[in-house]
Amino acid sequence: MPRLPAPRREELAPEHQALWDHIGAVRSGTVSGPYSVLIRVPALAAALDGVSGFFRDAVALPKPDLELGALAAVRETGARFAWNRHELAARRAGARPEAIEVVRAQGALDGLTPREQVVVEVVRSLLRTRTLSDELFARAQAELGTRELIELVALAGHYTTISYVLNAFDVPPPDDTPTF
C-alpha cells in the first residue's frame, strides 16, 4: 500500500500542470511510480526527469546494456516497481533473457558475455562497496570506453535514487507481473 495517495493533476499549481503532462506523455500516459511521489516537489521531478530523458534519448551506452545496468541497480536496491518496468524495457531493447534472469537471481555472472558481466559487475560493485577495484575499473574502461563507463556509473546512481524514492514511499509494482 503506497504511503501517499495517488496525486491528481488538478492538485498542482497551474504552472506545474505542464510538467505533469510532460511526465505522463513520456511514461505511458500516466504519472506513476517514482513520479507519483516526486511530482509533489515539481523542481525535483523536473530535474530527475531531465536525467531520465538523457538516459532515454542521449546516452551512448547501447540500450540492452543500459537496461541491464538499470535492472542490476534496482535489483540491488529491491525496487519492485522499477524492476517491473525495466524488465519489460530490457526485453524490448534486446537484452538476453539469460542475463535478465542472472540479475533477477543475483546469481553468478559466469554465463554472461564479457560485456554483460562488466555492466552488472560495475553496478553491483558500486552498490555493494561504493567503489570499483582497479582491476574492475580497467576491465570496464577497456570494454565500455570512458564515456559509456561514466554513463553506467551515473545510471547506477540515478536508479539508486529512483529506487530509494520507490522504497521509502512503498510504491508497489504497477501490476501482478513477477519481479524477484
The cell for 148 is: 559509456
* 21-34 average pLDDT score: 94
Neighbours of 66 (CB within 10 A): 24
Cα 137 from Cα 88, distance rounded (Å): 29
Residue-wise pLDDT tens digits, 37-93 = 999 999 999 999 999 999 999 999 999 999 999 999 999 999 999 999 999 999 999
* 86-114 average pLDDT score: 98
Residue 116 lies in a domain: yes
Of 115, 114, 120, 118, the closest CA to residue 101 belongs to 120
**Which pLDDT score, from 0 to 100, does residue 49 have?**
98
If 0-12 CB within 10 Å is exposed, 13-18 middle and 19+ buried, where does residue 14 land? exposed
Same domain, 76 and 145: yes
The cell for 109 is: 555472472
Single-letter amino acid code for the residue at 116: E
Residue 2 lies in a domain: no
Look at residue 159 and tell me whether its pLDDT is greater than 90.
yes
Which domain does 51 fall in, by range?
9-57
**Which pLDDT score, from 0 to 100, does residue 178 have?**
83
Cα 180 from Cα 174, distance rounded (Å): 14
Same domain, 139 and 70: yes
Same domain, 92 and 42: no
- The percentage of the chain sitting over the pLDDT mark of 70, rounded to a whole number, equals 100
- The percentage of the chain sitting over the pLDDT mark of 90, rounded to a whole number, equals 94
